[in-house]
Amino acid sequence: MTKVNLYNPSSEDTITLISVSSATAHFYTSFFENNIIPPGGNSSFNVVFHAQTVGNIENTLFIKTSHHEPLTYQVFGVSVPDLYRLRPFTGCRGHENCDFSLPGNTYSEPLRAVEVFSKTGDLQLELPTGQIGSIGKLWEIPISEMKRVTKASLSSLVTENNRTVIRIKTRASRDGNFIILPVKMEVTSVPSVYSSTEKLDFGTLRSQDHPKQLNLYTLNSGTEDVQISSVSPALSNKAIKIKFKPVTVKAGKNTQVAIISFDASKGQRQSQFSGKIVLNVEEKSYSKLEIPYTAQVLKGQLWFDQSSTIFHIRDSPIDPLTRPVFLNNTFSFAIIIHNVSLPEKASNMFHIQNFSQNTLIPSHGSCYLFSLNFKPIRPSIHIDSNILLTTNASKFHLPIRTFTGFLEAFVLPPSLNRQWVDFGVLNTTKTASITLVVLNTNPIEVEVRSWMVSDDSLSVELLRSERGRKTVALSRTKVLGNAPASDQKTIILASGYYAVFRVTLFTQELDGMYLGSIHITTDYEILTIPVKALLRVSKLTVLPKNIVLPTSFPGKIVHQSLSIRNSFSRNVTLQHIHSLTDDVRFYCKRLKNKGDLQPRHKSKIANIYFDASLECGNQCYIGLPFILKSESKPYGLMMQENMWRADADLHQTLLERWRDLKERPGHEFQAVFEMSTDHEKKLHAKVIAQVTWPSIINSPSQILFPLTSIHGSSAEEVVLENPADVSVYVQVLPLALYPNSSYLVEKLVDKMTFIKFPSISTDTLEFYVHRNQTSLNKNTKGFKEGSVAPFVYNLLLLPGEVKSFNVKFTPIRNHSVASLLIIRNNLTVMDYVLVQGQGAVESLMVAGKPPGSSNVLKFRITESLLQHFIQQSKQRQNFTMTKVFNIENDGQIPVIIQSIEISGRICEGYGFKVIDCHEFALTPSTSKDIII
């Protein structure tokens, strides 16, 4: 920073200083000390040189006054790389408190800031933690480290450009030289989303470093919350990765919106080391926000011979061992090694010797750095750590390791122990296998030369080798156990790899306790793994061995109990039961308090379930979506609406899903459940489940009505049963009510039915529901039961409920008719009952004549019939004449004669009387005599 003095040579005129400006960002000027210079007076301003590039920089300052054309003032500076890695805080807009960049110490001694100050009242400085008091070591920066020493916040109540500087005085500062940090910030009143930093600076990275992450914060200066819709680089860059989810930025709040990471290993070109991050806001009045990012990537590495820091720990004592460590610098600049330090864990066995501080390794050169002394102690400990190198290019880590060469063995389930192979209790008729894993945790490769067993009852075979930790192998128990055997006789395990073996025990000739072992030989050890088993003649029997579940469908869960018969003389503990099949439709629920199986007793242990809906979701072949979900509005409410037109298509969609399922290897599914106890492992039960197309009709699907008089009607009962585990809403209506009835018949009725009933009427209303035979549900959640419209009848069937209704046939003429009674429901969408009836006319003949007023029944009285009467006789005599008339039913339907009346009088009147006057029936083509 340089002070520039201004002098007014006039003895009469006063000069007003208006402004001073620069055409480049390399030079920054303060405000005038005095804006008005009286005659013969002076003023001054400061010029701060904060170069943006390295090299010679020249520029012109323009000083505008009230009396002259702008004055020019030449400035010149030479820029070198910043030893403190500070950058000016410029180019930021908004209203926020911001942290400035961290000062770094590139010297070989600790750097301590002793004073941080600014002359501007709007810029507040405080300790980074916000504390007050002694700074102590807060301002001391260790060698080659960066540290936050102060926190600055700028407060402004007016819209303006704020310019100031922060001066940092260090213990090494002399002759008034300070570290100058320019601050330039534009304060605006326009509401928008602003970044709390003007640039995302990833600092200095090496190409082999892990990706570095920076949190991106924004401030919403408006009065309404806004949504950040996207965060992305302005230009595609493989080195940049953004972790972002749409987030709402609260008004007046500073909110983290994204995590930006820079992967130096993916930066191959200089153009990838800088760019812009673009934030898009859904609020139209807000402009998009662009935030620059930059990173300095150092290409190169410090190479060394890794074998020089790896040491073998032997069982027998060994003399101390010292190895030299050489480093090769592949960077394009010299590397200075300031310090070398050991981790505390390794300091008992390792010592650094012959290290000289500030050792310089020239670019693409190599040199001896130090010697590493190894003196093992007893007991020896495994060390896997790093030697820390503090350099002028950040910190480097040299791996330091000790190893024994031993392999780590562990046994996978169902072994009862991880340290040895424990088969538990086995039946003497069963062969059992368990998976054994040996892991190489050493930093070197280990050759497994052989694997052997202790006797002929055991066998061990190599399955495979692969990379992974112990947790990886445990998570892959099933996959590893089913792997095929390998024919390799030896195997080399690299560091971090494991080998998988299958251990098999043949129990046919064994009894009682069995103890054996497996021996795995390497260059460093003979690893022995014990094998243990208890052989018993008694056994556990799964009942039933094969479970065939009842047929089901999506919406109907079926289950069956599973039991184990324990023939041992003591309790057996059930450890677990699970499915070996990757089919979520099969699952089990273990019964409570069934951990112990009683001796010589059959114990029910679990229920095995099959739920066909668990796999198909909303694409099931049965049931509308609500039947498989809990929804607030039941489908039954929709059935009151005119949705009939879509029924056929929806029914066909479900039917096609069912046909596709049936044509595949099956609508039969299988699963295997495995049980393990403390006596026996791998007890299996096979489960078979079948799915079907359900129906709610529980009575014949074809109804043939008897001959019915066109003056009367006949009725038949239809029984419905809900086979599902959820409520089924039913609506019964004639086919004629459908607007597309012909299309519906085509889709619903099969070919055999068409052959038997070639003409199905699509417009008759002679068949209809008469009345319900069972009581209606009171609480149906808005679904109205009973007659809801002419010829339309609603029913609600609870799970497993049975209901019935009568179907009436009322013929309108003497003809034969067939039609469909449609049963809409939310299980199969549609079902139907085929109904057929024939109308007929009643016909009677009395004395060979049809009834009618024109036909009479005559009694003929002749003179000869009255001869025996004596007119002179005073005694009154009765005269009775009897005649037989025949009544014949010559119609098609039975006729019931309920009564015979004579001019309105039953059986007798006006001198006529019917003998044996009572109700009788005449079937077609039969007759009966009546005596009058």
Those residues whose C-beta lies under 8 Å from the C-beta of residue 486, and which sit 6 or more positions away, are 461, 462, 463, 464
Query: Can the peptide bond before residue 758 be classed as cis, meaning omega within 30 degrees of 0?
Result: no
Q: What is the pLDDT of residue 255?
A: 87
Residue 484, helix vs strand vs coil: coil
Alpha carbon distance 507, 420 (integer Å): 18
What number of other Cβ atoms are within 10 A of residue 694's Cβ? 21
0.75 exceeded by pTM:
no
How far are the Cα atoms of 127, 194, 244, 257 from residue 217, in angstroms, in the given order?
A: 21, 9, 12, 6
What Cα–Cα distance (Å) separates residue 710 from each residue in 556, 762, 814, 856?
45, 20, 7, 27
Give the C-alpha separation, 502 to 740, whole Å.
Answer: 67
Residues contacting 229, CB < 8 A, separation 6+: 246, 280, 281, 282
pLDDT given at position 100: 42
CA 14, CA 11: separation in Å to the nearest integer?
A: 9
What pLDDT sits at residue 777? 57
The three-state secondary structure class of 117 is strand
CA gap 99, 128 in Å, rounded: 9
**pLDDT tens track for 880-919:** 888 898 999 988 888 889 898 988 899 999 889 999 898 9
Q: Is 389 within 8 Å of 343 (Cβ atoms)?
A: no
Closest CA to 706 of 820, 823, 816: 816
Q: Give the C-alpha separation, 581 to 560, whole Å.
A: 18
Cis status, amide bond into 443, omega within 30 of 0: no
| Whether the Cβ atoms of residue 115 and residue 213 lie closer than 8 Å to each other | no
Distance CA 595, CA 574 (A): 5
Which tokens belong to 893?
A: 């339907």
- What pLDDT is recorded for position 120? 61
Number of neighbours of residue 637 by Cβ within 10 angstroms: 14
Instruction: Provide the 3-class DSSP secondary structure of residue 480.
Output: helix
pLDDT in tens, 190-236: 777 888 777 888 888 888 888 999 999 888 877 888 888 899 999 98
Strands 321-329 and 366-374: antiparallel
CA separation for the pair 149, 146 (Å, rounded):
9
| Residue type for position 42 | N
With beta carbons less than 8 A apart as the criterion, state whether 660 and 756 touch. Answer: no
**Per the structure block, which two tokens stand in for 898?**
């309920």
CB count within 10 Å of CB 872 equals 4
Cα 274 from Cα 290, distance rounded (Å): 13
Contact 822, 830 (CB under 8 A): yes
Q: How many CB atoms lie within 10 A of CB 503?
A: 23
Which segments within 523-646 are labelled E, that is strand? 526-536, 540-543, 546-548, 557-566, 572-579, 586-590, 596-597, 601-611
> Nearest CA to 837 among 819, 861, 856, 821?
819
The sign of the dihedral angle between the CA atoms of 485, 486, 489, 490 is: negative
Low-confidence ranges of the chain (pLDDT < 50): 95-106, 108, 133, 626-641
Which residues are CB-contacts of 159 (< 8 A; sequence separation ≥ 6)? 187, 188, 189
Measured between its terminal Cα atoms, the distance across the chain in Å is: 147
**Could you give the C-alpha distances from 388 to 311, 349, 398, in angstroms and in order?**
18, 16, 7
**Quick check: helix, strand or coil at residue 912?**
strand
Give start and end residues of each alpha helix (H) in 579-722.
613-616, 635-638, 647-663
State the pLDDT at residue 703: 93
Report residue 555 as tokens. 């919406």
Q: What are the two backbone dihedrals, phi and then psi, of residue 210, each rounded to the nearest 5 degrees?
A: -65, 155
> How far is the CA of 299 from the CAs of 336, 364, 908, in angstroms?
16, 12, 131
What domains, with CATH codes, occur in the chain? Answer: 2-187 (2.60.40.10), 193-298 (2.60.40.10), 302-403 (2.60.40.10), 408-536 (2.60.40.10), 540-690 (2.60.40.10), 702-840 (2.60.40.10), 844-931 (no CATH)
**Phi, psi (5° rounding) for residue 14?**
-95, 135
User: In the block, which residue shows the tokens 């990706």?
Assistant: 211
Range 583-586, long-range pairs (CB < 8 A, 24+ positions): 583/615, 583/669, 583/671, 584/614, 584/615, 585/610, 585/611, 585/612, 585/614, 585/615, 585/669, 585/689, 586/610, 586/669, 586/671, 586/673, 586/687, 586/689
- In the numeric block, the tokens 């200095």 are attached to 204
- Phi, psi angle pair for 873, to nearest 5°: -65, 135
Q: How far apart are CA 72 and CA 49, in angstroms?
A: 17
pLDDT of residue 46: 86
- Pairing outcome for strands 359-361 and 335-341: antiparallel
Whole-angstrom distance, CA of residue 657 vs CA of residue 639: 23
Rounded distance between C-alpha atoms, residue 285 and residue 129, angstroms? 37
d(CA 110, CA 450): 57
Distance CA 397, CA 388 (A): 5
Contact 626, 635 (CB under 8 A): yes
- 505, 431 Cβ separation under 8 angstroms: yes
Residue 50's identity, in one-letter code, is: H
893 and 709 in contact (C-beta within 8 Å)?
yes
- Sign of CA pseudo-dihedral 886, 890, 894, 900: negative
Amino acid, single-letter form, for residue 313? I
Q: Which residues contact 851 (CB under 8 A, 6 or more apart)?
A: 844
How many angstroms separate the Cα of 702 from the Cα of each of 17, 155, 720, 819, 839?
109, 89, 14, 10, 18
Among 249, 260, 253, residue whose Cα is nearest residue 215: 260
